[in-house]
A = this chain, B = another copy of it.
Amino acid sequence: MAHRDDSVETIQQEMTAFARRARASAARMHPELSLVSYTLLAHLDDQQGCRATDLAAHYLLDKSTVSRQIAALEKLGFVERRIDPDDQRVQVLHPTEQGAQVLANVTARRRLAFRERLADWNEDDLDRFATYLQRYNAAQEGQG
C-alpha cells in the first residue's frame, strides 16, 4: 500500500501544481481569449451552438457568470445570439465567422505548444498519458 499512496500523493501534487499555473499561463499565451472564454467558445463551436444554461451546467458555472462571459464575447464580435423561435426565452449561441477564426488560431497555437512540450515522448507514453487523463477526468464529472 505504501507505493500506491506515494503515487496518489504525487498525482495530487502534480495536478495541483498544474492547475495553479494553467490560468496564468493561458492568459500569457493567448491574451485575446482567456481560458474560460476559450473553452466556452470551443464548446459552442463543437456543439454547433447551444444555450447559456447548457454552458453553465456543463462547466459548473453560475448562469450569471456565463451571461457576462457571453456578453463579453458578443461585444468582441465572437459570438452571436439567435432567439429560438419556439421559445422566446432561449438564445441559441453560435460563434461568428470571426469568433471561429480566432478560436481556430488559438487552438492551433495551443496545439503547437502542447506538441512541442510533448515532442520527446514516445507514442506509447503519449497514448497512455492521454488515456489516464481521460479516465481521471471522467471520474470527476458531476462532482469536483
Chain A residues within 8 Å of B, Cβ to Cβ: 3-12, 14-26, 28-29, 35-36, 38-39, 59-61, 110-111, 114-115, 117-118, 121, 123, 125-130, 132-137, 139-140, 144
Contacts and interface: CB of A to CB of B under 8 A. Distances in A.
8 contacts: A8-B126, A14-B137, A16-B35, A21-B60, A22-B22, A23-B23, A25-B144, A26-B144
Contacts of A10: 130, 133-134
Contacts of A23: 19, 23
A13 B6 CA distance: 26
Contact of A4 (B7, B110, B123, B139): B123
Nearest to A28: B144
A133 B16 CA distance: 11
Nearest to A6: B130
A129 B24 contact: no
Contact of A16 (B6, B21, B39): B39
A129 B132 contact: yes
Contact of A36 (B14, B20, B133, B139): B20
Contacts of A126: 4, 7-8, 11
